[in-house]
Structure 1
Amino acid sequence: MRIAMVSEHASPLAVLGGVDAGGQNVHVAALATALAEDGHEVEVYTRRDRADLPERVPMHERVTVVHVPAGPPEPLPKDELAPFMPAFGRWLARTWTLRGRPDVVHSHFWMSGLAVLEAVRTVPVPAVHTYHALGTVKRRHQGAADTSPPTRIRDERRIGRAVDLVVATCRDEVSELRRLGVPESSVRVVPCGVDVERFAPGDGDPPRVGDRHGPAGPRRLPHRLLSVGRLVPRKGIATVVEALPALPSTELVVAGGPAADEVDGDPEVRRLRTLAARLGVADRVRFLGSVARESMPALIRDADVVVATPWYEPFGIVPLEAAACGRPLVGSAVGGLLDSVADGETGLLVPPRDPDALAGALGELLRDPERRRRFGVAARRRALDRYSWATVAAGTLAAYEPATYPALKEATA
């Protein structure tokens, strides 16, 4: 099968950790690769954001990243890209007319959906869409701080009603789509995935006090928590800091944000350090800055518990990475975490923005190493069963079938 993926702002070649580089980049790159390893040809179309980028870049034997000229060839915040999506779509249509149309096009994020709707107006191709995040949810939680274009929710509704299939990443998203007016009959759930070979358990338990082990350096206290993610308020790291006074033998390591030598100037780091100082826990919170992807498994294995407490989360890859490494997770009972964390089996879920509930759940696990071990074993097993990229690719292909079958039947007649 020839598969086109459109990911307008999240290139699979991007370096992770920036404001607009995160889980979607990982998802698109890994899904494209898994589909290619199953024998399919994949082209990933993303916006050209540098003048010196070649049009086509091989990423895998059967995956090519195509840089689309839409808007100025320079980095722009994703919230400024919507006006360039019609041009993006027209370029897709011209390219498919000249080079042959794909069997299916799968757009990622709402603006990619706009580009695809423009393209398929003139070059009909079965269209599948994954939102990755919904404007209704963002606006509900961020209010006036939401920087999305005012047309976003209207456009998301139009995309959901126009495409052949919506691939949602979790059950909570299905409910949101229903409220948005997207027919539930055109929605399938296929979760995000994790590289279960790279993210895997180590040889033993987490290090002890004073051990030099892994990218976070020596452990200073008996227990270590790890939070990973972009340094923005909605990721809820402040809630973890607020829980620390009730966990006196525990340190918090935070990975994400700018490079290590730029961390001190980051506004969110300054805000969190001020909060930690006010609570008397500043000496127990460390900010590592961005951590290389290859170092993440060791960083996760260094922790007793991984903590993910966002206000909201469309899916979230950190819980899957923790699970694959055999580490329990305590997280917010929101969005994708409701699916990826089996409460009481692989981790614990608490209400978002509730430091007392978080401290209680963390205290339970930190006092019970055997329970942490059981949770970790169960989490690894669940990651293997449900969230390997091979499993996710198979689920994606099965979801494509209803959308692509008429086109494939015609092509092979």
Structure 2
Amino acid sequence: MRIALVSEHASPLAVLGGADAGGQNVHVAALASALADRGHDVEVYTRSDDATLPERVPFGPGVDVVHVPAGPPEPVAKDDLLPYMPAFGRWLGTRWSSAVPDVVHAHFWMSGLACDHARRLTAFPFAQTFHALGVVKRRHQGDRDTSPPGRLEIEATLTRTADAVIATATDEVRELLELGAPAESLHVVPCGVELFGGGAADDRWWRTGPGGRILSLGRLVERKGVDTVIAALAEVPGAELVVAGGPVVAFDNDPEVRRLRAEADRLGVADRVRFIGPVARGDVAGLMLSADVVACTPWYEPFGIVPLEAMACARPVVGAAVGGLLDTVVDGVTGLLVPPRDPGRLAAALRDLLSDPGRRERLGRAGAARVRRNYTWPRVAAATEEIYRRIGASVITGRVS
């Protein structure tokens, strides 16, 4: 098949760790490569944010990244991209009118909106993955939600116009049904993971804390709950915390970095917290393997790749009992689940694991086995391919306009 993945703000080529570069970038990159490994030709369409970028960049065997001219050729915050989606979609529709992909898979709601504009120019089978839903973001962030006006209405429309809506977790299905998605169009395919801990632990990021090593890895945005981990650290004597992630440029001046450092100072744990900035993909396994426990405590999380990466490296996860973590982390088997935004419960779970190496090892082994059974990218790609074939067949028989 000729497969087009549309990821308007999350390029597979981006450096991870910034506010708009995280799990979606990893997901799209890995899914594209896994689909190509199955013999498909894959193009990933993302917005050009640099005038010097070539239109087409080879990403790997069978995968090209195509830069779409839509809006200024410079970095633009994700929430400010909405005005450029009609132009993005028209460019796609014109491009595809002479060579229609066998299937188009949009990632994030604005990518779906662009595809909706493209469909006005040419027809194609269309799958949608949201990665995050505006209604959930609004529920948790309230007035601090920076999403553009109209997001909720656009997402609700996309749930009804897409030929397939692919959720990454079972918790998301309930939200999609409430938005009006037809049950028959809904599918659950989790994210995958590509790290299996075959390397060696890399100790370069740690100091010499006698009470164990806690790792927090991911984008540094408030909803990721890193402040909850810092607050819990005050109740875990002797432990040290490494916080990985954040912007590549002007790290020390980033508002969230400054807020988190101030919180560590206020709580008297600054000497046990180290902010190391973004970590290259090739270094993630070594960092994971050097930790005793990986803490993932978001307010909400559509899926969450970091817990899978930790489990793949046989490291126990202490996670917030929200969203995708309810699927991936089996409480008491592969890690421990605690309520979100509850430093006391988090601290108790961390103390429990850090004081019991044997339990950490058992949870880690169980997590690695669970990943191998359920969350490899070849399995994810095969399940996604089956959905593509289903909606492609519907086009041929005339059931999709």
Q: TM-score range by the shorter chain?
A: over 0.9
Counterpart code for 2:197: A
Shift of 1:388: 0.9
Does structure 1 residue 200 correspond to structure 2 residue 197? Answer: yes
Relative distance call for 1:144 and 1:394 in structure 2 (3 A) is same
Alignment of 1:12-411 (within 5 A): 12-98=12-98, 100-196=99-195, 199-202=196-199, 213-259=202-248, 262-407=250-395
Q: In the TM superposition, what is the alpha-carbon distance from 1:236 to its structure 2 partner?
A: 0.5
Structure 2: give runs of 5+ residues left out of the alignment. none
Aligned to 1:246, the other structure's residue is in SS state coil
- Give the distance between the partners of 1:277 and 1:89, measured in 2 at CA: 47
Please give the secondary structure, in 2, of the residue aligned with 1:270: helix
For each residue in 1:127-177, what CA deviation from the matched residue of structure 2 results, as whole angstroms up to 9, or x when unmatched? 000000000011111111111111000000001100100000000110111
Distance (whole Å) between structure 1 residues aligned to residue 6 and residue 252 of structure 2: 36
Describe the shift of the 1:362–1:54 C-alpha distance in structure 2 as closer, same or farther (beyond 3 A): same
Deviation at 1:282, TM superposition (A): 1.6
Secondary structure in 1 aligned to 2:66?
Answer: strand
| CA shift for structure 1 position 274 | 2.1
SS of the aligned residue for 1:258 comes to coil
Whole-angstrom distance in 2 between the partners of 1:28 and 1:184: 25
TM value normalised by structure 1: 0.93
CA distance in 2, matches of 1:277, 1:96: 54
Q: Give 1:182 shift.
A: 1.1
- Give the structure-2-normalised TM-score: 0.96
Deviation at 1:220, TM superposition (A): 2.6
Q: How far apart, in 2, do the equivalents of 1:371 and 1:238 lie?
A: 26
- Give CA-to-partner distance per residue, 1:86-131, whole Å, 9 cap, x none: 1111111111123x10111000000000111111222110100000
Q: What is the root-mean-square deviation of aligned Cα atoms in Å?
A: 1.5
Distance 2:272 2:124 in 1: 54
Deviation at 1:262, TM superposition (A): 4.2
8 Å CA contact 1:201–1:324 kept in 2: the answer is no
CA contact (8 A) 1:5 1:43 kept: yes
Deviation at 1:353, TM superposition (A): 0.3
C-alpha contact (below 8 Å) 2:192/2:376 kept by paired residues: yes
Question: For 2:381 and 2:144, how far apart are their aligned partners in 1?
Answer: 35
Measure, in 2, the Cα distance between the counterparts of 1:268 and 1:88. 31
Checking the alignment, whether the CA contact within 8 Å between 1:324 and 1:380 is kept in structure 2 is yes
Cα 1:264/1:14, change in 2 over 3 Å:
closer
Question: What runs of 5+ residues in structure 1 fail to find an aligned partner?
Answer: 207-212
Query: For residues 241-292 of structure 1, what are the alpha-carbon distances to aligned partners after superposition, in whole Å with 9 as ceiling and x for unaligned?
Result: 1111221021111001134x84432322222222222222121111111111
Kept in 2, the 8 Å contact 1:308–1:319? The answer is yes
1:202–1:325 Cα contact (<8 Å) kept: no
Rounded Cα–Cα distance in structure 1 between residues aligned with 2:289 and 2:392: 41
Q: Give the Cα–Cα distance (whole angstroms) in 1 for the partners of residues 252 and 118 of structure 2.
A: 45
Count of residues paired in the alignment: 398
Whole-angstrom CA distance in 2 between matches of 1:281 and 1:33:
42
User: SS of the residue aligned with 1:33?
Assistant: helix
State the distance in 2 between where 1:52 and 1:277 align: 42
CA distance in 2, matches of 1:408, 1:40: 19
Does the 8 A contact of 1:215 with 1:298 survive in 2?
no
